[in-house]
Every structure is written in structure tokens, then in C-alpha cells.
Copies of this chain bind each other. A is one copy, B any other.
Amino acid sequence: MITIDVMGRTPIYEQICQSICREISLGAYKEGDRIPAARALAKELGLNPNTVAKAYGILERDGIIYSVAGRGCFVAKHKDEVADRQTAEFSDLVGRLLESGIKPDKLKEIIDIKAEERGNT
């Protein structure tokens, strides 16, 4: 299920990218699966079709999906790109925070707190 948060700074097209990646990561979409048609998804979410099309274009550029003219968009083989996409931002941010003198343990503590909030292990 994809939900969009119009508040907050993250652009909608980026939220769509992240949602699709999350679905793949969670196994909801597997390699070769067809993902929702851009226009259908736009209608369902009440978004401008251009916004969804932009998201799909980025995902294709990133090697996460591939499009077949007249048939739709499909999940590409390698899951590595998905994981990379999801952790790249995290990795960069961690680097910047460590550079700011924040202790690694402090960051791990925040992870534990967040994980506990979600009942995650």
C-alpha cells in the first residue's frame, strides 16, 4: 500500500520511488513483477500523472524497474539497486553526522529507540 504525505519536504515523486522500493524490499513485488500502471496509480492516489511518470523514469534510470513499451513497467532482476538506493542516503548522512562529532553509539541508540517504537528487532 502506497501512502503519500503531502506535508513535509520530500517531493511526491521521491515518495513514490521510496514506496516502490519498499514494496520490492518487503517482497510485495518480486523480480519480473509488473508494477501498477503509472496512470492507474496516479488516479488511485489523486496525483498528477506527470508526477508518477517522473518517479517511474527515475526508478528506470536507477535500474530498479524497466519499462516495456505498450506493456508496462517491471521489477528488474537485481535487488542490490533497491538496497543501495535505500541505504545510500543513510550512509551519507551517517558520514556527515560522524564528521560533526556525533558518536556512533549515539546513532545506534536512536536506531534502538526507533526499532523499539515499532516493535522491531
Q: Is the CB of A112 within 8 A of B104?
A: yes
Q: Is the CB of B86 within 8 A of A98?
A: no
Residues of A in contact with B, size category: 35 or more
Of the candidates B18, B91, B94, B121, the one whose C-beta lies within 8 Å of that of A100 is B18
Give 1 or 0 for each of A79-121: 1 = CB within 8 Å of chain B CB: 0000100110111011111111111101110111011011011
Q: Is the CB of A93 within 8 A of B96?
A: no
**How far does the alpha carbon of A121 sit from the alpha carbon of B101 in the complex, in Å?**
11
Query: A52-76: which residues lie under 8 A (CB-CB) from chain B?
Result: 58, 61, 66, 68-69, 71, 76
Contacts of A121 in B (CB 8 A): 103-104
Give 1 or 0 for each of A11-54: 1 = CB within 8 Å of chain B CB: 10000001001100111000000000000000000000000000
